[in-house]
Amino acid sequence: MSTSMATGSAQLDATAAPPRLSIAGDWTLAHYHALERAVAAIGTPLAADVAIDTNQLGALDTAGASLLAGLLGNERLSKLASTDPHLPTAQRALLQTVGTAMAGYQEPRRARRGNALTDLLARIGAAMENIYHQQVRLLGFIGLTLQTFAQTALRPRRWRVTSLVAHMEETGLDAVPIVALLTFMVGAVVAFLGSTVLADFGATIYTVDLVAFSFLREFGVLLTAILMAGRTASAFTAQIGSMKANEEIDAIRALGLDPMELLVLPRVLAMLAALPMLTFLAMIAGLVGGGLVCALVLDISPVMFINLVKSDIGVRNFLVGLAKAPVFAFLIAVIGCLEGFKVTGSAESVGEHTTSSVVQSIFVVILLDALAALFYMEMGW
């Protein structure tokens, strides 16, 4: 065996009997391009009666062994590695390993290029499947939340009163300014638009009914729920998600505590208590905003405004709007907590699931509000 750093070569002597292939020099990565040209010049496959001479073979690595596999074929390479007495043990093992690996190699199939329609349908299908799995997980989490509430309701020692009060302050009291301000301005806008449109029909007095109906039945609870979905659901997801990323939830379980009882239940109960109160505040603020516009633009005094509301708007409208608040509150809190538990452990995951909780909460609130409106209309309420 030669120990020189000469470039490897492969020469086929077709005049000999039998034909002889002489392999010499270093078959290494440094000489790969020259070796590749030499192998291409000989052509493959070799005849079965060609003898292989490796007496002058120098250094050998996996790059050179792969070229020999392409030149000789996997079976002949493995046979050469097991029968040639001139090859050192290390080179035999290398040729045997490369031959076995090349024998099991399959050319990967090229991915079929789909057209725009099939790609669109595939993305729609994947999105629908993802929505289905999300709803299944949401239903399971709702059941787990209700089970935890049933287990702790009759055990006062397990109530997390301090946590409940803290979350009520965070979700309810701290949200009062933004809810009151937003609904006040929306009430003013509704009254202004109503007075502008109804003036063409000489019915500006019905602006009072428009504001009262819209806020008592729809706008009060809907605007409040959307604000809480963007403000509180995201906060729940970020808080629980950060704990999940820092492995604090695993530590809670290691201490023998239930994360549902410790983290989820106080947030859900706080939202159930806060959202109806905020909804009532939103209704009042919307009526005040509409009453202010009526007083300034339509010369309808506050006393007249209140008397019209009392005479034209029944208590049923107020109860219909307020009845939706606990349902919205429960779903917003559950979705926010569930997305927090889905966080995998990075800041990016926290951001993604926070966004997802807001989008899901707003979508669910609007969908249920539309279904409730249809139901109330069919029931004549």
Tell me: do 220 and 345 sit in the same domain.
yes
Query: 27 lies in which domain range?
Result: 9-103
Residue 196 lies in a domain: yes
Tell me: do 150 and 286 sit in the same domain.
yes
pLDDT reading at 168 higher than 80: yes
Check residue 363 and give its pLDDT: 93
pLDDT band with cut points at 50, 70 and 90 for residue 16? confident
Task: Read off the CATH number of the domain in which 23 is found.
Answer: 3.30.750
pLDDT reading at 4 higher than 50: no
Length of the chain measured in residues: 381
Check residue 104 and give its pLDDT: 66
Check residue 1 and give its pLDDT: 37
Check residue 3 and give its pLDDT: 41
Percent over 90 (pLDDT), the chain? 43
Tell me: do 74 and 133 sit in the same domain.
no
Check residue 355 and give its pLDDT: 92
Tell me: do 200 and 272 sit in the same domain.
yes
Residue 317 to residue 315: CA distance in whole angstroms = 5
pLDDT average, residue stretch 58-74: 80
Written as six digits, the tokens of 13 are 């002597």
pLDDT reading at 272 higher than 90: yes
User: Mind listing the pLDDT tens digit for each residue in 209-255?
Assistant: 999 999 999 999 999 999 999 999 999 999 999 898 888 998 999 99
Check residue 117 and give its pLDDT: 85
**Alpha-helix residue ranges (DSSP H) falling in the chain:** 32-42, 62-72, 74-83, 89-103, 116-153, 161-171, 176-198, 207-213, 220-228, 234-245, 248-254, 259, 265-297, 302-312, 315-341, 347-379
pLDDT reading at 330 higher than 90: yes
Tell me: do 22 and 80 sit in the same domain.
yes
The more confident residue out of 106 and 205 is 205
Tell me: do 280 and 319 sit in the same domain.
yes
Residue 9 to residue 68: CA distance in whole angstroms = 11
Residue 294 lies in a domain: yes
pTM for this prediction: 0.69
User: To the nearest whole number, what is the mean pLDDT of the chain?
Assistant: 86
Residue 77 lies in a domain: yes
Tell me: do 219 and 367 sit in the same domain.
yes
pLDDT band with cut points at 50, 70 and 90 for residue 312? confident
Tell me: do 194 and 285 sit in the same domain.
yes
In terms of average pLDDT, the best of 53-67, 69-83, 122-136 is: 122-136
Check residue 211 and give its pLDDT: 92
Residues 6+ apart with CB under 8 A from 9: 22, 23, 24, 25, 35, 38
The more confident residue out of 32 and 291 is 291
pLDDT average, residue stretch 324-339: 94
Q: Please count the CA atoms within 13 angstroms of the CA of 50 that sit on its side-chain side.
A: 23
Residue 33 lies in a domain: yes
**Cα 100 to Cα 27, 96, 295, distances in angstroms:** 19, 6, 91
Residue 322 lies in a domain: yes
Residue 150 to residue 110: CA distance in whole angstroms = 56
Percent over 70 (pLDDT), the chain? 95
Q: What is the dihedral of CA 307, 312, 313, 315, to 10 degrees?
A: 80
Tell me: do 157 and 273 sit in the same domain.
yes
pLDDT band with cut points at 50, 70 and 90 for residue 106? low
Residue 123 lies in a domain: no
Tell me: do 150 and 282 sit in the same domain.
yes
> What total of structural domains would you count in the chain?
2
Residue 256 lies in a domain: yes
Contact 231, 178 (CB under 8 A): yes
Residue 361 to residue 327: CA distance in whole angstroms = 12
Region class of 110: left (phi > 0), else alpha (psi between -120 and 50), else beta = beta
Asked which of 87, 103, 119 is the last residue of a domain, the reply is 103
Check residue 278 and give its pLDDT: 95
Name the one residue in this structure whose structure tokens are 């702790």.
Answer: 152
pLDDT average, residue stretch 249-277: 92
Contact 339, 237 (CB under 8 A): yes
Residue 115 lies in a domain: no
Asked which of 69, 103, 137 is the last residue of a domain, the reply is 103
The more confident residue out of 120 and 69 is 120
Residues 6+ apart with CB under 8 A from 299: none
Tell me: do 200 and 330 sit in the same domain.
yes
User: Mind listing the pLDDT tens digit for each residue in 121-161?
Assistant: 989 999 999 889 989 999 999 999 999 999 998 888 888 89
What's the N-to-C CA distance of the chain in angstroms?
99
pLDDT reading at 194 higher than 50: yes
Tell me: do 83 and 138 sit in the same domain.
no
